[in-house]
Amino acid sequence: MNPTSTWRYVVGTLAFVIGFGLGTSACIDEKPYVPSFTEFVIDLVNNHGDDQKPVTYDDFKDLPDPDGDTNNTAAYDSLFR
Q: How much is the mean pLDDT over the chain? A: 77
Q: Which residues have C-beta within 8 Å of that of residue 40, sequence separation ≥ 6?
A: 59, 60, 63
Give the amino acid at 59: D
Between 1 and 16, whose confidence is greater? 16
Amino acid 30: pLDDT: 66
Task: Report, as an integer, the average pLDDT of 50-76.
Answer: 82
Task: Report, as an integer, the average pLDDT of 36-49.
Answer: 86
